[in-house]
């Protein structure tokens, strides 16, 4: 697949546009360098109690509410990516908890269980 040609832009979004045209493939160091300098404004309607908690958290961390929100969004994004990859604290804790016999055939067992579930005679 050929990459679309992109004019070089002197704006801070030029690298982002270039990355998008190349299928979003930039080296990690380039991503950090270009995306750290990008700022966007996000307006959120918040319950006053939630805002008060965010302000309290910001004071406790000696930072600002926008920094607290950005930090939480980064954590959520990382957790979402880990979850999509099958890595969660629960799955990690359960990994290896069940010892299966050496002759265990996963495919046969799954087929039998699905047939039972859907009432199909095998």
How confident is the chain (122 residues) per 10-residue block, as mean pLDDT?
42 44 46 56 88 94 92 89 79 84 92 92 72
By C-alpha distance, which of 79, 77, 59 is closest to 68? 59
Q: How far apart are CA 25 and CA 38, in angstroms?
A: 17
Q: What is the pLDDT of residue 14?
A: 45
Q: Buried b / exposed e across 46-59, counting CB within 10 Å, b at 16+?
A: eeeeeeeebeebbe
| pLDDT given for residue 38 in this prediction | 60
User: How are the residues of the chain apportioned to helix, strand and coil, as percentages rounded to the nearest 5?
Assistant: 55, 0, 45
């Amino acid at each position: 697949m050929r990459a679309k040609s992109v004019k070089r832009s002197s704006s801070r979004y030029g690298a982002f546009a270039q990355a998008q045209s190349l299928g979003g493939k930039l080296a990690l160091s380039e991503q950090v360098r270009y995306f750290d300098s990008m700022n966007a404004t996000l307006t959120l309607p918040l319950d006053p109690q939630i805002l008060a908690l965010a302000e309290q958290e910001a004071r406790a961390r000696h930072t600002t509410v926008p920094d607290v929100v950005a930090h939480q969004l980064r954590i959520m994004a990382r957790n979402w990516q880990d979850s999509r990859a099958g890595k969660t604290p629960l799955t990690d804790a359960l990994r290896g908890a069940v010892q299966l016999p050496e002759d265990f055939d996963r495919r046969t067992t799954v087929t039998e269980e699905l047939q039972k579930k859907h009432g199909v005679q095998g």
